[in-house]
């Protein structure tokens, strides 16, 4: 027996948001975002007697190795988002006071405010998970601790880098950098380290990236590389990468083994511990000070009335909808336009309870509430089931579906598995949720959380999708 088809989406630990500038494992894309950053000036560089080396000078060239490389890194926060595919050479470097407005539309001080100070949060130590062939599949937790991240500036100036691709004779997106000092300390004593770091202040996003490198000889805590060696190569350094937004931060450690073109890397830790949203430039929304808050998003839905359920037969019945936020499930995606014309996104996972006389009983299902907002538009959003256990990436037997996703009053006989899709639009005045149930016939196969387990040689033509019906909930007055 073996699992076939319908493998769960997004099973990788995605760290693209964290922008590991020095680790280019996987498919080549943009140039290393710190490779052309000049070293810190003499008044802010690492002292001569320090075991630390300037972080920009430590960026290695790491060749992709299928069974040990990290998933592709970079994405919205780590690469040349406006210069993909270009080889950008430094043309000029201009020193700016931190409060001076740059031609990017903001000053260094505006972005640096997201970073400075001390931040404490839970951290998860991770270890690689391999399949029988030795291919890296995922990362699993191997313990937790409390982490303190402290950032202070080491210079009163920022550096604006103008760059150009000489081959294509086009300008690359400029970069605004600042030099900082990072201190990492964990409650378990594994991390007790201070290093010079580079702040990438961003241009087309509201994210600030921090990157630095800790050679093995510079480690002052009790950190132990796991595994102790990789492919016969000894540990050489830790890469630290953190992404900051006005709603919070996300960070990670990557372990490098070996040197030069033969070096390989594995994830070692990530924070916050819950980390539900480390893809596509999002970071955990762990701070409550900015507006709107996650509670504001839930309030947008709670205020809508009346609530009407439309059954598959067309019957209209009054209904009630209740929302309860799942702790530590908030995510933030900054706007892509610093002028505020584009929207930013907040999302939160919520337990949604739907009650109506048209249903056999209350239906309780986890959904993601995603809301978009900007300076110039009202909030609007939608519900999604893609990242929940009842989404289209899970394949429950009809009995398990009712247990985990509720009894929707639809006939589930004649199918081997059931999945749930959600379509939705929410505005301050009205909205709707369309719950769409689909079944699958897979003769001889057994459904499971990762797909179907089928006998060897089972033809794909044996699988058949079955439309089971829709349940629509109308909110407010259209």
* Positions of E strands within 166-246: 170-171, 175-186, 192-200, 208-215, 235-245
**155-212 pLDDT, tens per residue?**
999 999 998 888 888 888 888 999 999 999 999 999 999 999 999 997 666 789 999 9
Q: Is the model's pLDDT at 404 over the cut of 90?
A: no
Token pair 């584009």 in the structure block, residue: 342
* 239 confidence band (pLDDT: 50, 70, 90): very high
d(CA 226, CA 473): 50
Average pLDDT, the chain: 78
d(CA 464, CA 135): 31
Distance between terminal CA atoms of the chain?
A: 51
Listed as own residue / partner, the contacts of 306-310 with beta carbons closer than 8 Å and 24 or more positions apart are 306/476, 306/477, 307/473, 307/474, 307/475, 308/473, 308/474, 309/354, 309/356, 309/358, 309/359, 309/471, 309/472, 309/473, 309/474, 310/471, 310/472, 310/473, 310/474
Going 6 to 11 to 16 to 20, the CA torsion angle's sign is negative
- Residue spans of the domains in the chain: they are 2-279, 294-476
Q: Which of 11-15, 126-130, 329-333, 468-472 is least confident?
A: 11-15
Strands 248-257 vs 89-97: parallel, antiparallel or unpaired: unpaired
- Does this model's pTM top 0.75? no
- 10 Å Cβ neighbour count for 416? 21
- Residue of 107, 139, 141, 138 whose CA lies nearest to 124: 141
**4-39 pLDDT, tens per residue?**
332 222 222 223 333 333 332 322 233 332 333 333
pLDDT score for 326? 87
């Amino acid at each position: 027996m073996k699992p076939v088809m319908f493998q769960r989406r997004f099973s990788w630990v995605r760290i693209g948001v964290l922008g590991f500038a020095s680790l280019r494992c996987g498919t080549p894309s943009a140039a290393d975002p710190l490779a052309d950053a000049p070293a810190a000036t003499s008044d802010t560089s690492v002292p001569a007697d320090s075991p630390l080396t300037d972080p920009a000078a430590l960026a290695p060239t790491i060749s992709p190795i299928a069974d040990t490389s990290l998933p592709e890194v970079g994405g919205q926060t780590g690469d040349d988002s406006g210069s993909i595919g270009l080889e950008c050479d430094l043309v000029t470097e201009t020193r700016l006071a931190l409060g001076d407005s740059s031609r990017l539309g903001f000053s260094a001080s505006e972005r640096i405010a997201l970073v400075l100070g001390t931040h404490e949060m839970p951290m998860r130590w991770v270890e690689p998970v391999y399949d029988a062939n030795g291919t890296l599949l995922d990362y699993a937790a191997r313990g937790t601790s409390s982490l303190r991240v402290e950032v202070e500036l080491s210079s009163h100036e920022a550096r604006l880098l103008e760059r150009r691709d000489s081959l294509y004779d086009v300008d690359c997106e400029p970069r605004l950098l600042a030099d900082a000092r990072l201190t990492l300390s964990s409650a378990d004593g594994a991390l007790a380290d201070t290093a010079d770091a580079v702040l990438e202040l961003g241009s087309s996003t509201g994210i600030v990236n921090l990157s630095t490198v800790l050679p093995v000889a510079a480690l002052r805590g009790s950190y132990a590389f796991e595994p102790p060696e990789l492919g016969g190569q000894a540990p050489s350094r830790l890469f630290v990468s953190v992404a900051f937004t006005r709603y919070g931060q996300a960070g990670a450690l990557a372990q490098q083994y070996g040197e030069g073109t033969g070096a390989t890397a594995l994830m070692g830790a990530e924070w916050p511990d819950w980390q539900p949203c480390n893809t596509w430039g999002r970071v955990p929304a762990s701070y409550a000070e900015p507006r709107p808050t996650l509670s504001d998003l839930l309030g947008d839905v709670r205020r809508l009335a009346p609530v009407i359920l439309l059954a598959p037969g067309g019957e209209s019945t009054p209904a009630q909808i209740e929302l309860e936020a799942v702790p530590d499930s908030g995510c933030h995606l900054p706007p892509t336009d610093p002028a505020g014309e584009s929207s930013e996104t907040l999302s939160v996972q919520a337990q949604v309870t739907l009650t109506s006389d048209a249903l056999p009983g209350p239906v309780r299902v986890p959904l993601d509430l995603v809301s978009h907002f900007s300076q110039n538009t009202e909030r609007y959003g939608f519900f999604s089931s893609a990242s929940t256990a009842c989404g289209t990436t899970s394949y429950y037997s009809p009995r398990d579906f009712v247990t985990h996703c509720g009894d929707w009053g639809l006939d589930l006989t004649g199918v081997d598995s059931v999945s749930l899709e959600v379509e939705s639009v929410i505005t301050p005045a009205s909205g709707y949720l369309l719950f769409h149930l689909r079944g699958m016939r897979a003769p001889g196969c057994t459904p499971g959380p990762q797909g179907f387990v089928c006998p060897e040689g089972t033809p794909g033509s044996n699988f058949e999708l079955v439309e089971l019906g829709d349940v629509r909930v109308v909110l407010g007055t259209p």
